[in-house]
Structure 1
Amino acid sequence: MLVQYGAVGAVAVMAIAAVRVLFTRLQAAVDREAERADRLEEELRRLNETVRNDYIGTIATAAQAISDANRAVADALAAVRRG
């Protein structure tokens, strides 16, 4: 249809083809980036879960150590007061 306009029509057809190719490439890049973002989001979620679990274990151990230290200090103070 555009070819009936001669050179202007041919240029328009080429421009439309170029826009279509560029759009297809852009859409493919967007799809790749979306997949990458989803993959990285899942990896970040797993990493956060791992860190959280490690922190829970470390905090529990630290709390137990503080409790043991408080008990030892209380026992030492009681022994000093008795003796």
Structure 2
Amino acid sequence: MANLLHADGLGSKGLSVVSFAESRGLSVGYVRKLCKDGKIFGARLHSRTRQWWIYPPAKLLCEPRKSRENTSNPMRSISLDAKQV
């Protein structure tokens, strides 16, 4: 019988920042920043290694930022069009 508290697949063990970033589709540096800023519930800084570990129930307390490919800057497209003319 599965434990409903850990339905996200983490089990009782923690995840490294790299594993958490890969599972959420985020960069490692961004996940480290979120841990430092307290935006990931369950993130703890290991006292000896000084590395972040994320324990269940791990939750993002904010929306991840949008990637640069998805955002469009209208001023950038105007400047690119001007260069082509």
Same topology, TM > 0.5: no
Taking CA–CA contacts closer than 8 Å with sequence separation of 6 or more, which of the two structures ends up with the larger relative contact order? 2
TM-score, normalised via structure 1 length: 0.25
Q: Which has the higher helix share?
A: 1
